[in-house]
Structure 1
Amino acid sequence: MNENALCWLNGTLLPLSAASIPVNDHGLLYGDGVFEGIRIYGRRAFRLQRHLDRLVLSARAIALNIPYGCDDLTAAIQQLIDAFDAESGYIRVMVTRGPGSLGLNPKGCEQPNMIIIADQLSMVDQTSREQGARLIISSVRRLPADGLDPRIKSLNYLNHILAKIEANHAGVDEAVLLNAQGRVAEGTADNIFIVRDACLLTPPCTEGALEGITRELILDLAEAAGIEVRVQPLGVYDLYAADECFLTGTGAELIPVASIDQRRIGQCPGPIFRKLQQDFAAVVAAECQR
């Protein structure tokens, strides 16, 4: 943890090390809550409204009332950024169900906790970011949509954590989760893209992928650049046979992939990745100018 990390907790700004919530909060007891991750560039929150809209939809999907409106959250996030000691960083917005009984019934949870953290986040080291990340296919499957819809960014990420543990044990950077049918869903905290014959491909959200905001932007940038785009189911073979592969996400930003299960990807970083990375940086610069 960065010693300069800050927290906005239910209207109070304080050092992250001083922030606390009750131990009987159902967010802690059961992972009952929702969250968003937002990048800070040039002391501005990137695509903030889009993230807050998704937070509201996630909360609505689990019948959780957010105790602040979007205007209040926007002001709170800006207050946090203004007090933060860096030009760039990462914001985590969380809404927990709040304190209640030790039973899992949320009926007695009357006061949700609103937590906003400003800190630094790096998904991989600088060498992997420049030369490419190493991936494995995890044995952990993505939860099916009829169990927990992947569009809900809930606080319960246990199956993703187990996949990340596998990656740690294998000595690699990241793991790919498959869905129950054995098709590609996503990484532990990122969406996945491949390039095949100059065509950009990524799984649809119905396969278990999060409706990523960076994913959405990359698809738009690719179409604007005249790159053929297909959103279609992918198998493990498609990953192994890819000309290029890369990860996207608010935390990840854009990360090229060098290998999957010790199979080298054709080009890393490849020309389409480099083009999209350049265009992504241009959008960030345009939207986050002071």
Structure 2
Amino acid sequence: MSLDGAVPWDDRGLTLGDGLFETLLARGGQLVAFEAHLARLVAGCGVLGLPAPEAAAARQACEAALAEAGLGAARAAVRLTLTAGSGGRGLDRPPSLAPRLFATAAAAPRPATPARLAIAATRRNDASPAARLKTLAYLDNILARREAQAAGADEAVMLNTRGEVACAAVANLIWRRDGRLFTPALGCGVLDGIVRRGLLAAARDAGEAIAEVAVGRAALDAADAIVLTNSLVGVRPVDALDGRALQSGELAETLARLVEPLIQGASADPDRLSSPSR
């Protein structure tokens, strides 16, 4: 497992998107939910047939990236990247893989405003195993985000090939309708988000379950509140969907209070965030 930060021209992550990544939040030099992110990366390695990195090497790479960027005391995003290593021309991997592991860090202030969403025409391929992994191939997400921005929004909502609500370009979705909470099921081509998973567990423990559903965009059109969740923003309210105003601040605050203790305690109880959601 190479820890060299230099990526050569024949690296399969660069040429073919053959690899995985995780984006972690760091606060005051502490990696939030590191064990949960590593567990998801390791599970993804199993699906792609890649050797998984050692926990110590992964943590060392993340902490070194924070130090090198001078962000030890800041709120920062740490990206841990694993590629299949060098491989030459063509699709076939070399007989002996030498994966490349490296990390980068950048400042990540919390968004100061709610998000505005737009439904993108670019679809999420729910039939692909990669739809449920954080692979290096993010072109569909990039195109969806560009569509949303061209429409005057901040973030895209992606439907899958069946027309079901899947996710935002870089976040999971949760919405409220008639007092009930919903989120797209993983079978819709959804990434098993760390915050999403924590909220499912916390809501279940609080006796107010979040239903995992496979529904069309009409479900979002009927929602009175929508939030985005991911490891960097936590829970972010949405104040507009395709120009329709929403009041999501109260829901975002409620869900943020639910998930924060789980995230804070993830190092002590990693199974709460690293076990598959039910």
Q: 1:275 is matched with which residue?
A: 254
Task: For 1:283 and 1:61, locate their aligned partners in 2 and report how far apart those are by CA, in whole Å.
Answer: 27
Letter of the 1:253 counterpart: G
Task: For 1:284 and 1:202, locate their aligned partners in 2 and report how far apart those are by CA, in whole Å.
Answer: 19
CA 1:159/1:89 → structure 2, altered by over 3 Å: closer, same or farther?
same
CA 1:99/1:285 → structure 2, altered by over 3 Å: closer, same or farther?
closer
Letter of the 1:237 counterpart: A
Q: 2:105 aligns with which of 118, 122, 125?
A: 118
Q: 1:188 is matched with which residue?
A: 169
- Supply the RMSD in Å over aligned alpha carbons: 2.3
CA 1:65/1:283 → structure 2, altered by over 3 Å: closer, same or farther?
closer
Letter of the 2:132 counterpart: R
Q: 2:118 is matched with which residue?
A: 136
Cα deviation, residue 284, structure 1: 4.4
Structure 1: unaligned runs, 5 residues or longer: 1-8, 13-18
| Structure 1 residues 202-224: Cα deviation after superposition (integer angstroms, max 9, x where no partner) | 01100111111110111222233
Q: 2:185 aligns with which of 204, 210, 215?
A: 204
2:122 counterpart SS class: strand
Q: 2:150 is matched with which residue?
A: 169
Cα deviation, residue 264, structure 1: 1.6
Task: For 2:265 and 2:82, locate their aligned partners in 1 and report how far apart those are by CA, in whole Å.
Answer: 30
Cα deviation, residue 173, structure 1: 0.4
1:251 counterpart SS class: coil
Asked if the contact 2:23/2:79 (under 8 Å) is kept, the reply is yes
| Structure 1 residues 50-88: Cα deviation after superposition (integer angstroms, max 9, x where no partner) | 11111011112111123x412332344344445543332
Cα deviation, residue 263, structure 1: 1.4
Deviates more, 1:37-46 or 1:275-284: 275-284
Matched, 1:260 2:277: no
Q: 2:275 is matched with which residue?
A: none
Cα deviation, residue 260, structure 1: 0.9
1:168 counterpart SS class: helix
Asked if the contact 1:133/1:173 (under 8 Å) is kept, the reply is yes
Q: 2:78 is matched with which residue?
A: 91
Cα deviation, residue 278, structure 1: 2.6
Cα deviation, residue 108, structure 1: 5.9
Letter of the 1:187 counterpart: A
1:150 counterpart SS class: helix
Asked if the contact 2:26/2:78 (under 8 Å) is kept, the reply is yes
Letter of the 1:115 counterpart: F
Q: 1:100 aligns with which of 84, 87, 102?
A: 87
1:275 counterpart SS class: helix
Cα deviation, residue 143, structure 1: 1.1
Task: For 2:86 and 2:209, locate their aligned partners in 1 and report how far apart those are by CA, in whole Å.
Answer: 49
Q: 1:69 is matched with which residue?
A: 54
2:201 counterpart SS class: helix
| Structure 1 residues 224-283: Cα deviation after superposition (integer angstroms, max 9, x where no partner) | 333242111232111111121000011332111111111122x2313x321112333444
Q: 1:51 aligns with which of 37, 49, 67?
A: 37
1:189 counterpart SS class: coil
| Structure 1 residues 33-56: Cα deviation after superposition (integer angstroms, max 9, x where no partner) | 111111112321111111111101
Cα deviation, residue 105, structure 1: 1.9
Structure 2: unaligned runs, 5 residues or longer: 269-278
Letter of the 1:92 counterpart: R
Q: 1:234 is matched with which residue?
A: 215
CA 1:288/1:51 → structure 2, altered by over 3 Å: closer, same or farther?
closer
Asked if the contact 1:42/1:288 (under 8 Å) is kept, the reply is no
Letter of the 2:259 counterpart: F
Q: 1:33 is matched with which residue?
A: 19
In the superposition, the TM-score normalised over structure 2's length comes to: 0.87
In the superposition, the TM-score normalised over structure 1's length comes to: 0.83
Q: 2:271 is matched with which residue?
A: none
2:79 counterpart SS class: strand
